[in-house]
Copies of this chain bind each other. A is one copy, B any other.
Amino acid sequence: MTSVEKRFPGRLPIRDGKVDMSHGSGGRASAQLIEELFLRHLDNDLLRRGDDSAQFGVPAGRMVMSTDCHVISPLFFPGGDIGALAVHGTLNDVAMSGATPLYLAAGFILEEGFPLADLERIVAGMAAAATAAGVPVVTGDTKVVEKGKGDGVFITTTGIGMVPPGVEIAGDRARPGDAILVSGTIGDHGVAIMSSRENLEFDTTITSDSAALHTLVAQVLGAAPDIHCLRDPTRGGLATTLNELARQSRVGMRIRESGIPVRGAVKSACELLGLDPLYVANEGKLVCICPAPQAAAALAAMRAHPLGGEAAVIGEVVEDPHHFVQMETTFGGQRIVDWLAGEQLPRIC
């Protein structure tokens, strides 16, 4: 039966329009926003159905599920935007279990007054990241909060994936003697974000490392199937991730500062602001802990991947009832690499 329904009275004013409360009301304005902005970019068979959930077939096996809220400022930064980041952040958490990511869900909380043009850039960024990763956004939700009760856009993504048989990766599996690897330079994302913050503005060529790591993980698992831990050192940086893993596995760690890859520009920016690259966020790097005999194979596999060219072995797991992460400094001394206290903020002293 042909439809004579006129769906929407006019086109969504993406060029100069703003998000208003009606876009979150669940009524026709919501439907139009979804159809003319979200669906246009993220389009796929499952999302297009327009049901309140997505439906797909899964094989029997071990599934992983992960969720992350993205609340960054600024929303656009050198090397990415919150849309792409929301895809990478969650895909990586799924991948850190060794899983192949399958599908993503995305929830948007929009602040009244947010420019539709910016929203479109963000959704386009998300779509490009999802397409590049081969993992579609199959279901979503959009809410609008009053001006002053949000901050432009918050995006919560949830991902699911399947773990290949035989893979057993968890934060509590680090064992004394294991090797500790990172997949590349640390601190790039955090420095890129800070370089574009108002008041801090400095010039640098650093761009965020925001990237989806699941193909890197697959390649490493192919070469070194008995990996014990994988984790992406996001908020709180490498230092926090190592402390988390040490605590979960009830071990200590010893790393060598000289072995940790840090870009010159990241070092420079950290000197300027009084920060420590060990605590600066990454969005396209992983920490890998594996039995020492597999370290070389894992390292080679990482280096063979476009996202792992600067991978390095940075230390080893040790027994330690304090679960300390200790570091041999480039200077030859020893220090503790503790949890981050509070936020990393530019200091005067």
Chain B, residue nearest A49 (CB): B170
Contact A25 B236 (CB under 8 A): yes
Copies in the complex: 2
The answer to whether the Cβ of A10 comes within 8 Å of any Cβ in the partner chain is no
> Closest CB-CB distance, A61 to chain B, in whole Å?
7
Chain B, residue nearest A163 (CB): B55
Q: Which of B31, B55, B321 contacts A63 (CB 8 A)?
A: B55
Complex alpha-carbon distance, A109 and B153, angstroms: 12
Complex alpha-carbon distance, A7 and B65, angstroms: 27
Chain B residue contacts of A57, Cβ below 8 A: 60-63
* Chain A 190-234 interface mask (CB, 8 Å, partner B; 1/0): 000000000000000000000000000000000000000001101
> Closest CB-CB distance, A258 to chain B, in whole Å?
25
Q: Which of B61, B66, B232, B248 contacts A54 (CB 8 A)?
A: B66
Contact A25 B109 (CB under 8 A): no
Chain B residue contacts of A244, Cβ below 8 A: 31, 50
Chain B residue contacts of A49, Cβ below 8 A: 170-172
* Chain A 118-157 interface mask (CB, 8 Å, partner B; 1/0): 0000000000000000000011111101101111001010
* Chain A 154-169 interface mask (CB, 8 Å, partner B; 1/0): 1010101001000000
Contact B25 A342 (CB under 8 A): yes
> Closest CB-CB distance, A17 to chain B, in whole Å?
15
Chain B, residue nearest A138 (CB): B65
* Chain A 59-94 interface mask (CB, 8 Å, partner B; 1/0): 111111111111100000000000000000000011
Q: Which of B146, B158, B340 contacts A27 (CB 8 A)?
A: B340
Chain B residue contacts of A108, Cβ below 8 A: 69
Contact B148 A148 (CB under 8 A): yes
Give the contact stretch, choosing among A99-107, A177-185, A265-273, A303-311. A99-107
User: Which residues of A are at the interface with B, using a C-beta cutoff of 8 A?
Assistant: 1-5, 7, 21-22, 24-31, 49-71, 93-94, 96-97, 99, 103, 105-109, 138-143, 145-146, 148-151, 154, 156, 158, 160, 163, 170-172, 231-232, 234-236, 240, 244, 247-248, 250-251, 319, 321-323, 339-343
Task: Offer 20 A-B interface pairs, CB within 8 angstroms, sorted by A.
Answer: A5-B322, A24-B235, A25-B342, A26-B235, A26-B340, A27-B240, A49-B171, A52-B232, A53-B65, A54-B64, A54-B65, A55-B62, A55-B97, A58-B60, A58-B62, A65-B138, A67-B107, A69-B141, A69-B142, A71-B143
Given contacts A1-B250, A149-B150, 8 further A-B contacts (CB under 8 A): A3-B322, A26-B235, A27-B342, A50-B171, A51-B248, A66-B105, A67-B105, A109-B109
